Amino acid sequence: MRAAAIRAPTLLQAQRWAGTATAALAFASCAVSGELGPAMLALFPLALIISLVGGDKLRGRWQWAWSTLLGGALLVFAVQVFAGHVDIVLAAAWFVELLCIHRLWQRGTERDELLLLLLSLLLLCAGAALAAELTFGFAFLGFAVTGTWALALTHLRFAIEAGRGEAGSAALLNSRRIATPALLGGLALLSTLAIAGAALVFFSFPRVTIGGWRRASRPSPVAGLGDRVDLAQHGTIEDDPRVVLRVRLDPPPRGDPESLAMHWRARALSHWTGQGWRSDGGGIIPARRLPTRTHHGHPPSLLTADVEVVGAFSDGVVLTPQGWPLSVEFRRPGSARAGSQRLYRNASGDLFYQPVDGNDLRYVVVVDGVEPDLPAMRGRGRRYPPWLAPDLEVPQALNPRVRALAQRLGGGKDPADAAAAIEHWLATALRYTRELPEGESRDPIADFLFVRRAGHCELFSSAMVVMLRSLGIPARNVTGYFGGRRTDAGYYVVRAGDAHSWVEAWFPEVGFVRFDPTPASARGSRQEGLWARAVLLWDGLQQRWRTFVVDYDLLSQAQAIRRAGQILNQAGRRLAGTGGSGRLRTAAVAMAAALAAAALLAGVRRLRPRAGRGRGPALSPDQCRALRLWRAARGRLRRAGFQVPPGTTARDLARRFPAVGETADAYAAARWGGAALTPRQARAALRRLDETLKRVAPDGGP
C-alpha cells in the first residue's frame, strides 16, 4: 500500500501526462493515415520530446516567433488550398498540429490545458477524415481513455486551485495520494462506459447523410503485380505474410479446407528479355463482354468468387480464379452497391481496371471452373494463328542443351503430351528452392536446368515456356498467386508470399491451358509461424473494422435493426409459448422473473432511504412544528391586515407587533434553541394570537 502510494504520480504530473498522451494519440490518429507528409510527421514527436524535456521553461518564450509562425502557416496553407495543391482537410490537420505543438509548449493555466484538449479533439476529427484504417480505431480507443483521464484530472486540478487558492492547493496538487492507480483505473472504467455509449450512438444514429462534402481518399501507392519478371535476381525470396486478396467462394470449396489450392491469374508475359519476361506492351481496351469459351463437351461448372483486393497490391490488375472468366462485376467494399470502375482487357486476355484511389477494390468474378483434360487437348494439330507469334518466339541465345532436353522430353509427341511430359519432368526431376543463385547468371534457365537443378516458381515456368516454344508450341509465362488460407472471419486470404508463376500453352480450338511445372508441395506460401498468424488475425480485425465501422451505412443499419427486431420477436414468441422448446421457454420465463424481482428489489432499496435523503439537514418534529407555527402566524397577521414583508425575522416581527411575541418566542426556542414544542402548545399559541388579533386593529397596532 505504501509502495503503491510512492509509485503513484502526483496529481499535477498525472494531469500533465494525461494531456500530453491525449495530444499524442490524437496526432497518432492522423499520422496513421500516412497523409501528413514526412516533415509534419516528424515535427510532432520532436516537439513533444522537447516539451517533455523543457517543461515549464518553454512557457511564455518566443511568443512573437510563434505568432509569426502560426500566422504564416495559416497564410501558406490557405493559399495552397485555394490553389488546389492541398486538400482542405489535410491543411486543417497541419494547422491544428501546429496549434497543438504551440499549446504543448505553453501549458500553465486552465485555459491552456483545455485548449490543448480541444485541439487534440480537432486533430482526432482530422484523423477521422483522413484515415480509415484499423490503427485509427486503436488510436481512438487510446484517445478515449487518456482523454477521460485528462478531462477529469484537469477539472480536479483547477477545481482544487480555485477552491483552495494557490497556497492551499499546493500540498494537494503535489500529493501522490490522489492520482492513485485506483482513481486512474476508475476513470479508465468510466472511459469504457463512454466508449460503449459511443458504440451505441454510432450504431443507432440515423445514417441519413447529405453527402455534400465527402473527401476523396488518398491516391494509390503502386506496388505488387508488375509487368516484368527478372530471373537474374539473387538472394532469398521472403515469404511475405501480408494479405493481398480476401475471397469468398460460392459454392464454398468441398470440405471447407484450411488451405485453398487455387491459381489466381494476374498477367501473361510473352516477351523474353534474355533475363526474364515482360508483358506484350499493347494497349488495353474496354471489355464490355468477355470472350466466350469454346465448347469443350462438358457442362459449365460455375464458381463465383467475391474478391476484395488490397489496394496496395492490385496495381489495376483484376485477379481471376482458375478457370475461364465469364463475367466481372465491380462492387463497393463492404456494400452490395455497384462500384464505379470499368473493366479493360489487353491482347493477352489480362483484365484491368482504372484505380481511382488507393482503397481496396471488390469485384465478383464468375468463372467456368472446368479445365480441359489431356484427351481434350490431344490431336488438335499445330496450326496456330498469326497473333500467337510472340508466344512462339524462341530466345535467340537459347542454350542448345535446353533445346535438346525439350526434344528428348517432347519431341515427336502430340503438343498436349509434350507439354504434360515437360511439366511432369520439371515437377519431379528438379527441386524447389527460394534461395536465388549468387552472382549474375547469363543464362538463368540453363543454369537452373543443368547446374543448380533447383529454383523458384518463375524458373520452373520460364524453363517450361522456353522448352515448349523450342518445340513449336505456343506458350507464355503467367504471374499471379496460388493458394488461400481460411480465416476465422469466414473468408480466405491470399498473401503476398503466395505469389506464383506458371505456364499457359495454346492448343487449337481449346485456347490457352494452364500448366504448372512447379512441384505441387512448393507452391504458394508455406509460412505458418506466429508472425503469419498475427498478420491473419490483424487482417481479420481490419475486415471487421471495415465491415462494422467504416462501411456501416443506412443499408447496414436497416439490416441491423431488422435483425434486432427478429431477435426480439423470436424471444417474444418463445416467452409467449408459441415457439421454442419447453426447456428454453422455462429458462426464459425464469430469467424474466429473476430480472423483474431484481428490479423490484432495487426499487424498494432506492425508495426506502429516500425519506431522509436529499432535503438538506433533517429537522426534528419540534422544528417542523415550529416552522408550521411560524408560517401560520404570518398568514394570520397578513389576513388581519398587517404588513409582513418577506424576510422579516421572528424577532423583527415580535418587536413590531408585540402580540406575536409569544408565538415568536415559541418558534425561536423550538426552531433554533432545541426547545420542545408540542402540538398542543402550538395550537394554544395560535389560539391566543387569534384572540389578540381580534382585539387590535392593524392601523393602530396591537
Partner 1 sequence: MTPAWKRRLAFTRMGRWYTGLTVAIGLAATNTGNNLLFLVLGLLLSSIIVSGLLSEQSLKGVSVERRLPSVATAGQPALVGLLARNGKRRAPSFSLEVREARGDVAGHGFLVLLPARQSAEVAYRFVPQRRGVHRFRQIELATRAPFGFFEKSRPMDAEAELVVFPREVAPAPVEARAPGREGDRPEDRAGIGLEVHLLRDHRPGEDARSIHWRSSARAGRLIGIDREQERRKRVCVLLDQRGLRGEPLERAVEQAAALVVREIDSGAEVSLALAGQSLAAGAGDGQRHAALRMLALVEACGGDEAPPEPEAGASVLEVRG
Question: CB under 8 A: which stretch of 219-227, 288-296, 304-312, 643-651 binds partner 1?
Answer: 643-651
Contacting residue, 170, 198, 575, 686, with partner 1 by CB under 8 A: 198
Question: CB under 8 A: which stretch of 144-152, 238-246, 498-506, 636-644 binds partner 1?
Answer: 144-152
Cβ–Cβ under 8 Å, residues 12 and 174:
yes
Cell numbers at 156, concatenated = 480536479
649 counts as binding partner 1 under rule CB under 8 A: yes
Place of cell 491544428: 96
Positive or negative: CA dihedral 73, 74, 79, 80 = positive
- Where are the extended beta strands (E) located within 179-257? 228-230, 235-236, 243-250
Is 450 or 672 the residue whose CB approaches partner 1 more closely?
A: 672
**What is the nearest approach in angstroms of partner 1 to the Cβ of residue 347?**
41
Question: CB under 8 A: which stretch of 153-161, 231-239, 435-443, 580-588 binds partner 1?
Answer: 153-161
Binding mask 86-115 for partner 1 (x = CB under 8 A): ----------------------------x-
Site for partner 1 in 492-551 (CB under 8 A): 549-551
Applying CB under 8 A, what is the total number of residues that bind partner 1? 69
Site for partner 1 in 410-469 (CB under 8 A): none
626 counts as binding partner 1 under rule CB under 8 A: no
609 counts as binding partner 1 under rule CB under 8 A: yes
**What is the nearest approach in angstroms of partner 1 to the Cβ of residue 206?**
9
162 counts as binding partner 1 under rule CB under 8 A: yes
**What is the nearest approach in angstroms of partner 1 to the Cβ of residue 478?**
39
**Torsion angle, alpha carbons of 520, 523, 524, 525, to 10:** 90
**Torsion angle, alpha carbons of 420, 423, 426, 431, to 10:** -130
Q: Which residues contact 388 (CB under 8 A, 6 or more apart)?
A: 474, 506
Cβ–Cβ under 8 Å, residues 478 and 267:
yes
Distance from C-alpha of 419 to C-alpha of 473, rounded to nearest angstrom: 8
Contacting residue, 20, 135, 148, 525, with partner 1 by CB under 8 A: 148
The burial of 240, by beta-carbon neighbours within 10 Å (0-12 exposed, 13-18 middle, 19 or more buried), is given as: middle
Contacting residue, 4, 52, 199, 584, with partner 1 by CB under 8 A: 199
Is 68 or 649 the residue whose CB approaches partner 1 more closely?
A: 649
332 counts as binding partner 1 under rule CB under 8 A: no
Bridge-partner residues for 338, per DSSP?
Answer: 331
Binding mask 544-583 for partner 1 (x = CB under 8 A): -----xxxxx------------------------------
**What is the nearest approach in angstroms of partner 1 to the Cβ of residue 489?**
19
Cell numbers at 11, concatenated = 496529481
164 counts as binding partner 1 under rule CB under 8 A: yes
Bridge-partner residues for 503, per DSSP?
Answer: 477, 515
Is 507 or 630 the residue whose CB approaches partner 1 more closely?
A: 630
**What is the nearest approach in angstroms of partner 1 to the Cβ of residue 655?**
8
Is 191 or 479 the residue whose CB approaches partner 1 more closely?
A: 191
**What is the nearest approach in angstroms of partner 1 to the Cβ of residue 102?**
17
Positive or negative: CA dihedral 668, 671, 673, 676 = positive
**What is the nearest approach in angstroms of partner 1 to the Cβ of residue 612?**
8
Site for partner 1 in 166-185 (CB under 8 A): 172, 178
- Estimate to the nearest angstrom the gap between the alpha carbon of 400 and the chain centroid: 57
Is 134 or 499 the residue whose CB approaches partner 1 more closely?
A: 134
321 phi/psi in degrees, rounded to 5: -70, 165
Q: Which residues contact 196 (CB under 8 A, 6 or more apart)?
A: none
**What is the nearest approach in angstroms of partner 1 to the Cβ of residue 481?**
31
DSSP string, 149-172: HHHHHHHHHHHHHHHHHHHHHHHH
Q: Pairing between strand 431-432 and 454-455?
A: parallel
Q: Which of 6, 14, 7 is nearest to 179 (CA)?
A: 14
**Torsion angle, alpha carbons of 100, 105, 107, 112, to 10:** -30
Contacting residue, 4, 46, 171, 193, with partner 1 by CB under 8 A: 193
Binding mask 205-244 for partner 1 (x = CB under 8 A): x-xxxxxxxxx-----------------------------
**What is the nearest approach in angstroms of partner 1 to the Cβ of residue 170?**
14
Q: Which residues contact 500 (CB under 8 A, 6 or more apart)?
A: 263, 457, 479, 480, 481, 482, 483, 518, 523, 524
Distance from C-alpha of 681 to C-alpha of 633, rounded to nearest angstrom: 14
**What is the nearest approach in angstroms of partner 1 to the Cβ of residue 228?**
38
Question: CB under 8 A: which stretch of 56-64, 96-104, 403-411, 611-619 binds partner 1?
Answer: 611-619
**What is the nearest approach in angstroms of partner 1 to the Cβ of residue 652?**
7
Contacting residue, 136, 425, 491, 512, with partner 1 by CB under 8 A: 136
- Estimate to the nearest angstrom the gap between the alpha carbon of 613 and the chain centroid: 47
Distance from C-alpha of 119 to C-alpha of 100, rounded to nearest angstrom: 6
612 counts as binding partner 1 under rule CB under 8 A: yes
Is 261 or 558 the residue whose CB approaches partner 1 more closely?
A: 558
**What is the nearest approach in angstroms of partner 1 to the Cβ of residue 74?**
19
Is 8 or 513 the residue whose CB approaches partner 1 more closely?
A: 8
What angle (nearest 5°) sits at the alpha carbon of residue 446, between those of residues 444 and 448? 65
Is 165 or 379 the residue whose CB approaches partner 1 more closely?
A: 165
Is 283 or 700 the residue whose CB approaches partner 1 more closely?
A: 700
700 counts as binding partner 1 under rule CB under 8 A: no
**What is the nearest approach in angstroms of partner 1 to the Cβ of residue 124?**
6
Distance from C-alpha of 429 to C-alpha of 10, rounded to nearest angstrom: 72
**Torsion angle, alpha carbons of 452, 453, 454, 456, to 10:** 100
Q: Which of 7, 9, 10, 20 is nearest to 142 (CA)?
A: 20
131 counts as binding partner 1 under rule CB under 8 A: yes
**What is the nearest approach in angstroms of partner 1 to the Cβ of residue 113?**
10
Q: Which of 137, 50, 33 is nearest to 90 (CA)?
A: 33
517-521 long-range contacts (CB < 8 A, ≥24 apart) are 517/422, 517/423, 517/426, 517/427, 517/460, 517/461, 517/463, 517/464, 518/426, 518/427, 518/432, 518/457, 518/460, 518/461, 519/427, 519/428, 519/430, 519/431, 519/432, 520/261, 520/427, 521/432
Site for partner 1 in 253-312 (CB under 8 A): none
**What is the nearest approach in angstroms of partner 1 to the Cβ of residue 200?**
7
Cα separation values, 532 from 235, 242, 250, 308, 526, Å: 21, 8, 26, 19, 10
**What is the nearest approach in angstroms of partner 1 to the Cβ of residue 569?**
27
385 counts as binding partner 1 under rule CB under 8 A: no
Amino acid letter for position 508: P
Is 374 or 618 the residue whose CB approaches partner 1 more closely?
A: 618
57 counts as binding partner 1 under rule CB under 8 A: no
646 counts as binding partner 1 under rule CB under 8 A: no
**What is the nearest approach in angstroms of partner 1 to the Cβ of residue 106?**
18
Helix (H) / strand (E) element for 129: namely helix 110-130
Interface positions with partner 1 (CB under 8 A) = 114, 118, 121-122, 124-125, 127-129, 131-132, 136, 140, 144, 148, 151-152, 154-156, 158-160, 162-164, 172, 178, 187, 190, 193-202, 205, 207-215, 549-553, 609, 612-618, 647, 649, 651-652, 655, 672
